[in-house]
Amino acid sequence: MTRKLFGTDGIRGTANIEPMTAETALKLGMAAGRHFTRGSHRHMVVIGKDTRLSGYLIEPALTAGFISVGMDVVLLGPLPTPAVAMLTRSLRADLGVMISASHNPYEDNGIKLFGPDGYKLSDEDEIEIEARMFNGLESFRVGSDHLGKAKRLDDAVGRYIEYAKSSFPRGLRLDGLKIVIDCANGAAYKVAPTVLWELGAEVVPVGVSPDGFNINKDCGSLSTQAMREQVVAHGAHLGISLDGDADRLALSDENGRMVDGDQLMALIGDLWFRSGRLTGGGVVATVMSNLGLERYMTARGLTLFRTNVGDRYVLERMRRDGFNVGGEQSGHIILADHSTTGDGLVAALQVLAALVQSGRPASEVLRQFEALPQLLKNVRAHASVLETAAVKAAISAGEDRLLGTGRLLIRKSGTEPLIRVMAEGEDADLVNVVVDDIVAAVTQAAMAGAAG
């Protein structure tokens, strides 16, 4: 049995269009609430959200669903996804819910679920919840004397602020540092500037005026120009951009030059290795991470373990084999000593700790290795084109040309009919030629298939 509603990171879609409607949210609340009603104690769910207008649609529908099956609801208001995961555990809740579509525009929204341990749900849990949604929901309703209750947790923001600060090394301060923080007009617009300021930094805030429509608009981790301009204009030491739910980040040095997640994993991994904190003998990343990161780890006697694209796959490997540092090139960094999911602010604090300890500028500290030229292109085509003789021949030829100096990765998108063609190697011109040749073959095969 496969998941129909749940994708790689919860349920997501355009707000007020299926599946992101009040009706579906109500059913999900009932089904998930019933699924996590285990034992005789009073059951509870915590619900957080980002700043999208449609949060006002999804939140009460979920709340009604949970209450109807006898589960108490604790409303957190706008908070980062990792804060919801943390509070699920801290409050001993049976379930945690985050209403967010992450880096997507305001028109979209999504629902992410966390188990009582603060981790995202397994495929098996999601499949069972989906089955409950479409089979006998009426039987889950409790009597009117057993309905759940709803309340707001007034100090949710303060709890997460203290939690984030506690991840910063004891005895260190950010005094003397000027930091630009771009909160994407999203879930971290209150907590992130406050944490940095309370740790001693001079803070230049960007994207901290949400209006329900401007989340991720010309700001945040996928649109960093405003942040970089403020770094240069204010002579800041560092720039930080979070996405809409603050589970990923992008960093800029003092010159406005961007640094990706591979460099951050190298920095934190090496820092924790030298301090004796790194577990698992290396770092977990995805197949998209640069070959330069792999060589950097190897040179230190460490290993880069790769997974499929998606933070859930990174986390599964980390939990299975005992790693405490992992993430994605996109800036989704998971530090298992502190969080059960990606946390952009906590990851940024680890980088700032390295900056303080080194006494050197960010342009030196943040670039741990020389990245190999890497090129990714997407082709609109169905996966079946990968089985055609011409495409197979082009891929084989590309692999031969990159042998020993680079690598080639061809994969289908998990969310839309796209073939992703990525190559990297020591010769940028060769990388470009290899990718273009394969893209041309895929395009021709797709056109031939459409004509046929």
Contact 13, 108 (CB under 8 A): yes
The half-sphere exposure of 41 on its side-chain side, counting CA atoms within 13 A, is 8
Strand, coil or helix: what is 210? Answer: coil
Mention every residue, 6+ apart, whose C-beta is less than 8 A from residue 351. 238, 251, 264, 267, 268, 365, 366
What phi and psi, each to the nearest 5 degrees, are found at residue 237? Answer: -85, -20
CA pair distance 284, 305, nearest whole angstrom: 5
Residue 73's contacts (CB-CB under 8 Å, 6 or more residues apart) are 44, 45, 46, 47, 63, 66, 67, 148, 149, 150, 151
Among residues 54, 68, 100, 102, which one is catalytic? 102
Provide the β-strand partners of residue 380: 418
Q: Are 253 and 225 in contact (CB under 8 A)?
A: no
Cα angle 285, 421, 14 (rounded to 5 degrees) comes to 80
Beta strand ranges found along 207-286 (DSSP E) = 238-242, 249-252, 258-259, 282-286
Q: Which residues pair with 113 in a beta bridge?
A: 97
Q: Measured in whole angstroms, how far is the alpha carbon of residue 158 from the centre of its chain?
A: 23
Catalytic: 40? no
**What residues are annotated to the active site?**
102
